[in-house]
Structure 1
Amino acid sequence: MEFQSDLTRDISPQRKLGRGKIEIKRIENTTNRQVTFCKRRNGLLKKAYELSVLCDAEVALIVFSSRGRLYEYANNSVKATIERYKKACSDSSNTGSIAEANAQYYQQEASKLRAQIGNLQNQNRNMLGESLAPLNLRDLRNLEQKN
């Protein structure tokens, strides 16, 4: 029976397996740092590839190691992607169109909210009976017959 109690103690729900969070800071040990760099670089390259395939995105990834070695991935050409990036950054019409699109979106949202506020104010007036004040006697009788 003692064997079973040891077994249940080892499988208790309090014990958790899996990866723990590590503190993000520079790894001082050179060997450990190099091993971590290689593993994380490979993971990063894999994620870049997956993003390009799954989402049909144009991806370029450039990594320099602490020793100055270059690692890169691109689903097309790194140079072409960088040129496209530079063009997008320097193209003032591109940033202008984004700003215009944002302004238009927020104007539409503001209009929707104003309409919603107006509807809520009308509902409040109806509940308080304030909207009945401008009605004449005939309109009030018609309204009474509807209800």
Structure 2
Amino acid sequence: MKLSTTTRYGLRALSDLCAQGGEGPVAVSDIARRQDIPANYLEQLFARLRRGDILRSVRGAQGGYLLARPAGEITVAEIVEALGETITFGDCQTEAGCDQIDICPTFSLWRKVRDSIDEILKATTLEDLVRNRTLFQDEGEEF
């Protein structure tokens, strides 16, 4: 499994935006600089996230982006979907499927792994990312 640049950059940028404390709109150029992400590329990602109801934009000199909802209500799964991404384990787990399902000894394993990851992404919010929490993290454990 390999996460795309789109997914990695999108999650990093949203985490950065959250970490700014919600004091008002945050400029894409500021996030791009802090995260070392090309500003033009980040603008494209934020446009997708706006259409996906993850972000809202504010125009003007003091404009920028804000979360459309509280960070605790936005799941990583929603973000990945808004970015138009899918997380798969090989071609056999895609919509096109696999012509070897009946004889493949690993198909069920990869399906279970994918389903487990999907559940973690659905259970993890943007707030969890910013606070560095995960579904399986023990209390007090730091990463």
TM-score bracket for the superposition, by shorter chain length: under 0.3
Normalised TM-score (structure 2): 0.19
User: Which is bigger in relative contact order (C-alpha 8 A, separation at least 6)?
Assistant: 2
Higher helix share: 1
Q: Which has the larger radius of gyration?
A: 1
